[in-house]
Chain A
Amino acid sequence: MAVEEDGAVAVEANKDRFGLSWRPELAAGVLLNRGRVDCIEVISDDYLDADAKRVRALVALSRELPVLLHSIHLGPATTSRVEDAPIEKLARLVDRIRPESWSEHVAFVRAGGIEVGHLAAPPRDAATVDGTLANLDRIRRLTGTAPEIENIATLIEPPGSTMTEQAWLTAIFAACPNGWLFDLHNVYANAINFGFDAREFLASLPPDRVHTIHLAGGKWIEDRAENRRYLDDHLHPVPGPVYDLLAFTAARAPRPLTVILERDGDFPPTADLLAELDLARAAVARGRKVLHDHAAI
């Protein structure tokens, strides 16, 4: 925020940006609609072992549209030390692409030589807070930059947890300089599955650290015993309450926000995704109005 001559606090709301996760299936639609897609988020894992030609293509793409890199494979939320080799490989890609920012999840993805295959919520306790902080510090030193860190969705309250998700994330944020990638659909899903208030959760975390927002969709799933959970699957439109959480966040976060719509499959027509980006723009505008009105008082 900047203080203007009349003393009002100017929020750089005009720099809020709205983009899409980059998937080959969406490439044509994104490139044909550059006026409505401000930036893209690329999964870095797809390029870690890519040949020079593919990396050059990504460099060329980054000259057309601002690129953010998004990592899945490091898994820093563990009491074990993340190995140097994958961090150094990612550091080389970051150095080559020079993205505007890059991000990683506070998840664990392997332990004891076993690959989980995706993001798993670690037991939330003091040991995993310490382990996460140590790994984030090593990642920062080896890559030369601090990734934004993202909250994840989980379908199980991690066994062995002694802290709530809110307390665990708060402890991590209090002790590291990293920016925050708020995945609002993950907050929404966890709030439904574990019975907490998503707004209270968001209000408890430091808004000045929020740089990037993820939006996505999901669906209800049920097992044979008719137990139900809400699944973050990135295959459905963003539910209405998530736009409300976006407006709520925009009303509190002073930095310009980059909002990324994630879609991993069952791709709708590009027009539908652009319409979802417009809904995101409208939600951020609602939130920014609240922030401006509050700042002007």
Chain B
Amino acid sequence: MTTPPFEAFLARLYTDAAFRERVMADPRGEAQRAGLSAEQSEAIARLDRPGLGFTARSLEKKKRLRPS
């Protein structure tokens, strides 16, 4: 179930390259350290890694272009 901390975790995952690297190295550990539930930690462990990379790069570029 989505909660504000889970959304904050995703926002950081999408925008903070160093954090993203740490999460990819130890997804369950980082999720637990952020106080996420077991179910949310599992969702982070299972996430689509190529999709995450594409998303992070796209958000960085779109920030510069801006309109949607």
Q: B residues within 8 A CB of A156?
A: 47-48, 51-52, 54-55
Interface residues contributed by chain A, number (CB under 8 Å): 48
Chain B at the A interface: SS class: helix
Interface check A178, CB cutoff 8 A: no
Q: B residues within 8 A CB of A126?
A: 1
Contact flags (1/0) for B24-68 with A, using CB distance below 8 Å?
A: 000000000000000110011011101111110011101101111
A127 and B2 within 8 A (CB): yes
Q: A79, A114, A122, A229: which contacts B12 (Cβ < 8 A)? A: A114
Among A105, A152, A155, A225: residue with most chain B CB under 10 A: A155
| Closest residue of B by beta carbon distance from A113 | B8
Q: B residues within 8 A CB of A122?
A: 2, 7
User: Closest CB of chain A to B2's CB: distance in Å?
Assistant: 4
Interface check A175, CB cutoff 8 A: no
Which 3 residue pairs of A and B lie closest in terms of their CB atoms, listed nearest first? A112-B8, A156-B51, A111-B7
B3 and A111 within 8 A (CB): no
The docked-state distance in angstroms from the alpha carbon of A126 to that of B1 is: 8
Interface residues contributed by chain B, number (CB under 8 Å): 37
Interface check B18, CB cutoff 8 A: no
Contact flags (1/0) for B2-20 with A, using CB distance below 8 Å?
A: 1111111111101110000
Q: B residues within 8 A CB of A234?
A: 65, 67-68
In the complex, chain A residues 63-83 whose Cβ is within 8 Å of any chain B Cβ: 70, 72, 78-80
Q: A residues within 8 A CB of B52?
A: 156
B50 and A223 within 8 A (CB): yes
Given contacts A117-B63, A234-B67, A265-B65, whether A160 and B6 have CB atoms under 8 Å apart is yes
Given contacts A111-B10, A159-B47, whether A127 and B62 have CB atoms under 8 Å apart is no
